[in-house]
Structure 1
Amino acid sequence: MASLVIRTGRADLSFDGIRTEFDLPSSFPSVVLAEAETAVSRPVGDRPDLTSIPLVTIDPPGAKDLDQALCLERTASGFVVHYAIADLGLFVTPDEALDAEVRQRGQTIYLPDGNVPLHPTVLSEGAASLLPGVTRPAVLWTFTCSADGVPTDVEVRRALVRSRAQFDYASVQESFDRGDPHPSVAALAEFGPLRRELARERGAIELQLPEQEVESGGEGWKLVTRPRAQVDAWNAEISLMTGMAAASIMLEAEVGILRTLPDPDAEAVKALRKSAAALRVPWPADVSPGAFLAGLDASQPEALALFTDATRLLRGAGYSAFNGEAPEVVTHAGVAAPYTHVTAPLRRLVDRFATEVCLAVTAGEELPSWLAEALPQLPSLMGASDSLASKVERASLDQVEAWVLAGRVGQEFDAVVLRAGDQEAEVFVSDPPVLAKCEGRRLPEGERIRVRLVDADPAERRVRFDRA
């Protein structure tokens, strides 16, 4: 892990400028807060008590908005996976003030010094969150799977659940490394790799680019990159399996909302093959782009360049709502299957509506009018919030990169060329972990070079290098 801490004091390291620039709300209207407080004491209704299932959560350290809890069981014939999802449908009344507010927000926006939550924290970090040791209303998905990890039966229903413990990815990974994982997740070490192999067989495309994170560090902020833990990847497969099951339910019923991504454009695949050839990375003609990328060693500079080039394969993501005939595109190229969002309703608007569709369909009920009327509105609402979240994240990273490098103009750094253009390239500097532009004509993609910092402007959130 690479990191650098800036020590210029916290007073001048505020992200308030980004909040102002993107007009992020600082609070909820009083009527929304009052409605959320009332919703906390709302009766849960007649639902089965399944608190005997030993669920646990795995989230980033310190998280309080806990959307998912899981429990895996190894059986004689395969696996049983219990996956509990926070039930926001209990707390949000359609077409009232809270519903209108969360539709406007779309999703939780994360900044290094605090988030802008989708729901009031009395719900997202309290009554609706699957916190350990307390009984919570949830939507419980139960998968009966074969020995090779394929679901043979799926059940979704409202229930009462209780999480036994709250873990983070690092501690769970350490428990597997020691050989003593919690019994509720022990089967994840077998089930997760099975699901990842199925994804490779489908042709799923996964880009293992370094992820920059901002952390508080003493009197300032620090940039870090972390390798993705195996547990993180295994856990993600549970969420993906649930989203694929939900999409299948919707397609069979001919109603719902899908997260879609068109298949890669032929020209984009051709360009990626050209890049692989230029970097002398073998790519057999009968191997799919997903399988090729999955076989790369993410620690190698050639792989980083190819992962960056492969972002061109994953363009055109969106949401498709339908009630009757299915949309023209029903699959997500990254998943290589039909897929929808249902596993993060505390943090993402669309998940609540998609979950309500699945509950109604599997119960053999007609969609309530409020739900049918809301579906066509969701693609534009989610598209706008996705765009905003992406811009805020990039602006926050740009700001910290400029803070980290301010005062170091003229210094040289090791870098990898990720993507080259006619006049400049995109480079990744490993220490501190920075993605930035580098001046220079046709720099060699996938190669390690020395770069010189020529500009680091915190006011403009700008960092630029040239080749040393």
Structure 2
Amino acid sequence: MPRRHLRMTGPADTPLRASLCELRTELGLPDDFPAEVLAEAAQAAKNPAVSAHEDATDLPFLTIDPPTSTDLDQAMHLERRRHGYRVHYAIADVAAFVRPGGALDTEAHRRVTTLYFPDGKVPLHPTLLSEGAASLLPGQTRPAALWRIDLDAEGGVVATSVRRALVRSRAKLDYAGVQRQIDTGTAEESLALLRDIGRLREEQEVVRGGISLNVPEQEIVAHDGTYGLEFRAPLPADGWNAQLSLLTGMAAAHLMAETGTGILRTLPVAPDGAVARLRRSADALRIDWPHHVPYAQVVRSLDPRRADHAAFLQECTTLLRGAGYTVFDHGELPTPAVHAAVADLYTHCTAPLRRLVDRYAAELCLAAVAEHDPPEWVLAALPGLPKEMADGTRRANTVERECVDLVEAALLKDRIGEIFDAYVVDVADQEPTTGTVHIDDPAVVARIDGGDTKLPLGERLRVRLTQAAPGSSKVLFAPA
């Protein structure tokens, strides 16, 4: 998962936007799609392959995304059953628009994933599709892979199926609006059930030993004609919605495991040294972590609105490093097969507009339920997907890291020499005089060079800004 999210919620100054544009060029990212890709996308938008799709437009779906999002991968409809719940989860059917081996397909394999910048994105597919004909926009009939997952009264899975269907979203909602409707009791039943099912799935996560990190986002916000950085703690609705995506990813992984062919998202268990290091940071931050209490339980007790807890949550992401994609065939699951943070078999299948592998996972699951072999184009591409996704993930992480560095440097370039209150959230093992500090105001996580002084991991420290220059030098602090 990304270490830090960064997004603009208000206008930023022109120099920052210009620097972000220059960054795209420096990283060699594509500026636009080739003409033949756009032509194929235009044709596909007019004539998607939907002859095999059932009509499910009677289900009143809704989507929950950030307010400005238009590449909508998922839509939901939730029902109460006699002894539990039914989750209808519609995922955009990208395969209805992308012809295997065609120009669109080739370009998607080149890009692998949508790359997000604070002021925009470099999309996986042309926006004519990803924000138009293939997106689950409200009031539009769209092809989808429609999941139906039945849960018992405790939120456990009792039945899973997926089929191709035409769906129609009735409403595009955002997290703040959803939280407000649920809190005030004004949400209709299908939306109100998001809280009930979300909480049950969170309880199931506890039983499994899984963990979801509520890491605060960094937001670029307008301030008196300029901009600043702030942390935004996720809402409960963010977590409930994420639980439905996790539920579907686990259901998909188990379907593939039953048929013996698939691709999993895996994560090894963190080594003891990493956990011990995190425990030292928790001790220094005065976060209560008794030795008999599991790491996951401690994380669930944290409040991301508190500066010390937010700092610790940022460091918790270090235990999630090492995730990858693993293909299996002939019924032999890989080792490890489980995603350590999910604590179950898991795959990516809910974001095909933004991530290449999800299109293939959907096809494998559709074939599994229909009890026929996966398409040849899926089987042919499957062995190469882990490397393609690894390369794409590295590129996305580079974009994220460079964007954060650039924005923080732009924010702080006129404040060199100032002193800030910080937490030391990381110290290099081989060089304990260097590390990372977390500053709450402004919301910055940056490097620190202690010179001849060993840095106190997890403790508060007064630090001085020594350098910050967008495009040339990263933000750097020193002990004050």
Change (3 A) 1:359 1:218: farther
In structure 1, the residue matched to 2:454 is 442
* 1: CA distance, partners of 2:251 / 2:13: 50
Alignment pair present for 1:411 and 2:418: yes
Aligned to 2:52: 46
- SS of aligned partner of 1:330: coil
Q: Secondary structure at the match of 2:381?
A: helix
Which segment drifts farther, 109-118 or 339-348?
A: 109-118
Q: CA deviation at 1:455?
A: 1.2
Quote the RMSD (CA, aligned, Å): 2.3
Deviation larger for 180-189 or 388-397? 180-189
Match of 2:153 among 133, 147, 151: 147
The aligned counterpart of 1:164 is: 170
Q: Name stretches of at least 5 consecutive residues in structure 2 with no aligned partner.
A: 1-7
Counterpart of 1:381 (choices 383, 388, 394) is 388
- Given residue 474 of structure 2, which amino acid in structure 1 is its aligned partner? R
Deviation at 1:394, TM superposition (A): 1.3
1:17 maps to 22
CA distance in 1, matches of 2:235, 2:71: 21
Indicate if the aligned counterparts of 2:253 and 2:346 stay in contact, CA closer than 8 A: yes
Aligned to 1:131: 137
> How many residues are treated as equivalent by the alignment?
467
Cα distance in 2 for residues equivalent to 1:461 and 1:72: 50
8 A contact 1:301–1:446 mirrored in 2:
no
After TM superposition, give the deviation of residue 288 of structure 1 in Å: 2.3
Structure 1 segment 290-305 matched on structure 2, within 5 A: 290-300=296-306, 302-305=308-311
The 2-side partners of 1:215 and 1:24 are apart by 26
**Residues 61-460 of structure 1: pairs in structure 2 closer than 5 A:** 61-214=67-220, 221-277=227-283, 279=285, 281-300=287-306, 302-324=308-330, 325-421=332-428, 422-440=432-450, 441-460=453-472
Structure 1 counterpart of 2:212, one-letter code: E
C-alpha contact (below 8 Å) 1:5/1:220 kept by paired residues: no
**1:239-295 CA distance string (max 9 Å, x none):** 000000000011111101000001121232233344444555443444322222222
My pick for the range that moved more, 19-28 or 266-275, is 266-275
Greater alpha carbon shift after TM alignment, 372-381 vs 279-288 = 279-288
Classify the secondary structure of the residue corresponding to 2:87: strand
Once residues 209 and 447 of structure 1 are traced to their aligned partners in structure 2, the CA distance between those partners, rounded to angstroms, is 20
* Contact 1:85/1:344 (8 A) holds in 2: yes
Letter in 1 for 2:196: E
The alpha carbon displacement at 1:309 in A equals 4.3
5+ residue gaps, structure 1, are none
Identity of aligned residues (%): 48
Q: Deviations over 1:274-326 (max 9, x none)?
A: 44445554434443222222223434455445434433422211100122122
Equivalent position SS for 1:187: helix
CA gap of 1:456–1:114, structure 2 versus 1, over 3 A, is same
Whole-angstrom CA distance in 2 between matches of 1:266 and 1:170: 38
**Amino acid in structure 2 at the alignment position of 1:334:** A
- 1:459 aligned counterpart, secondary structure: coil
Check whether the contact 1:93–1:99 (CA below 8 A) recurs between aligned residues: yes
Deviates more, 1:181-190 or 1:392-401: 181-190
Equivalent AA in structure 2 for residue 460 of structure 1? S
Kindly state the Cα deviation for residue 195 of structure 1 after the two structures are TM-superposed.
0.7
| 8 Å CA contact retained: 1:68, 1:130 | yes
Residues in 1 aligned to 2:441 and 2:272: alpha-carbon distance in whole angstroms: 36
Residue identity matched to 2:241: N
Going from structure 1 to structure 2, the CA distance change for 1:11 and 1:408 (only over 3 Å counts) comes to closer
Contact persistence 1:192–1:234 (CA under 8 A)? yes
SS of the residue corresponding to residue 78 of structure 2 reads strand
Output the CA distance in 2 between the equivalents of 1:78 and 1:11: 51
**C-alpha contact 1:13 1:220 (8 A) present in aligned 2:** no
- 1:95 counterpart letter in structure 2: G
* Cα distance change on mapping 1:77 and 1:433 into 2, 3 Å: same
Q: Residue 107 and residue 216 in structure 1: after superposition, are their counterparts in 2 closer, same or farther (change >3 A)?
A: farther
> What is the DSSP-based 3-state SS (H/G/I as helix, E as strand, rest coil) of the residue aligned with 1:184?
helix
Contact 1:6 1:404 (8 Å CA) reproduced: no
Q: CA deviation at 1:211?
A: 2.3
Seen in structure 2, the aligned counterparts of structure 1 residues 285 and 412 have a Cα distance that, compared at 3 Å, is closer
**CA drift at 1:19:** 0.8
Which amino acid counterpart does residue 423 of structure 1 have in structure 2? T
Q: Is the 8 A contact 1:4 1:431 kept in 2?
A: no
Q: Deviations over 1:73-110 (max 9, x none)?
A: 12231111111000001101111111010011001111
Greater Cα shift, 405-414 or 278-287 = 278-287
What code does the residue aligned with 2:463 have?
A: V
Shift of 1:154: 0.8
The match for 2:475 among 460, 463, 467 is 463
- Deviation track 1:374-430 (CA, whole Å, cap 9, x = no partner) reads 111110111111111111111111111111111111222222221234112311111
Write the distance in 2 (CA, Å) between the matches of 1:368 and 1:6: 46
Other-structure match for 2:3? none
Give 2:85's aligned amino acid: F
The TM-score normalised by the length of structure 1 is 0.94
State how far apart, in whole Å, the 2-side matches of 1:96 and 1:195 are: 40
Which is worse superposed, 376-385 or 291-300?
291-300
- TM-score w.r.t. length of structure 2: 0.92
AA at the equivalent of 2:373: E
Q: Contact 2:10 / 2:221 at 8 angstroms: preserved in 1? A: no
Farther off after superposition, 224-233 or 276-285:
276-285
Cα deviation, 1:15-54, whole Å, max 9, x if unaligned, reads 1221112110011111111111111122410322111111
Tell me if structure 1 keeps the 8 A contact 2:229–2:442. Answer: yes
